[in-house]
Amino acid sequence: MDIADLGRILVVIPTYQERDNLPGVVARVRAAVPSADILIADDNSPDGTGRLADELAERDARIHVLHRPGKAGLGAAYLAGFRWALDRGYQVVVEMDADGSHRPEHLPEILAALTDADVALGSRWVPGGAVVNWPKSREALSRLGNAYARTVLGIPVRDATGGFRAYRANVLRAIPLDDVRSQGYCFQVDLVLRSIEHGFRVVEVPITFVEREHGASKMSRAIVAEALWRVTVWGVQRRLGLRSTPARPAVPDSVGG
């Protein structure tokens, strides 16, 4: 199977204050996977990102824009994008940041991994993965956070917090999206955990993560605190048998690492 056999693909790119980054990222996505459509989900960015997105869409029929009323968090933006995709019959939905940290050139590898999987995670922490221009403190925070999630939740995923990933549509249909309340990095862990609990096969694909060149990171202490709290609660629930168990084996693998 090649990418064309996956069906219609939508790349969801949430934006807030990403006017400087968006045109280059969109152009690289279009070059990497010309057959994919793009949905820019803008949270009413004050810097005019939404207007720029409209201009890009006017010039390219494969680019679409979802205007949201205000900044409501990364998780809410992706959930809106997922619903938009499912309502329009897409078979594959991709999560990708607008700041350039997720290299669009990795998209063919991530999508190809869906040949034998239901969810493909772009992973910084499997063999072959890397980060560029990160301070040691942030790398340590990410590694420790992922190790904590892996241990507490009992899931063999090395990069559960990464936001560069692809889902088959049947995964998103199976997950009760209206029940998802998490945001930020915690949202990414939440979706991986739910995918595994529903018995879907998850694989990790090595990527190189590059720190943004323009704009400011959206990470905050509140996002880190939410992730720590929610992961701990989910871990306790799993140990008490209060969360569902997989319907079939769902052991993540590394692809190409």
pLDDT value for 251: 43
Pick from 226, 254, 234: nearest CA to 154:
234
pLDDT value for 249: 40
CATH number of 3-254: 3.90.550.10
pLDDT value for 225: 82
Pick from 203, 211, 192, 200: nearest CA to 130:
211
Pick from 34, 51, 33: nearest CA to 42:
51
What does the pLDDT average to over 165-169?
98
For residue range 103-143, list pLDDT tens digits in order: 999 999 999 999 999 999 999 999 999 999 999 999 999 99
Give CA–CA dist 168/93, Å, rounded.
6
Q: What is the DSSP string of 44-85?
A: --TTSHHHHHHHHHHH-TTEEEEE-SS---HHHHHHHHHHHH
Write down the mean pLDDT value for the chain.
91
DSSP letter (8 states) at residue 3: G
DSSP letter (8 states) at residue 178: G
| Contact of 203 with 116, CB cutoff 8 Å | yes
Give CA–CA dist 118/250, Å, rounded.
10
202-206/253-254 β-pairing: parallel
Domain boundary assignment for the chain: 3-254
Answer whether residue 159 shows pLDDT above 90.
yes
pLDDT value for 49: 98
Please, what is the Cα angle at 144 between 141 and 149, to 5 degrees? Answer: 120
pLDDT value for 217: 53
What does the pLDDT average to over 207-227?
73
For residue range 11-49, list pLDDT tens digits in order: 999 999 999 999 999 999 999 999 999 999 999 999 999
Q: What is the DSSP string of 101-170?
A: -B-GGGHHHHHHGGGG-SEEEEESSSTT-EEES--HHHHHHHHHHHHHHHHHHT---S-TT---EEEEHH
| Contact of 67 with 135, CB cutoff 8 Å | no
Q: For the whole model, what pTM was predicted? A: 0.90
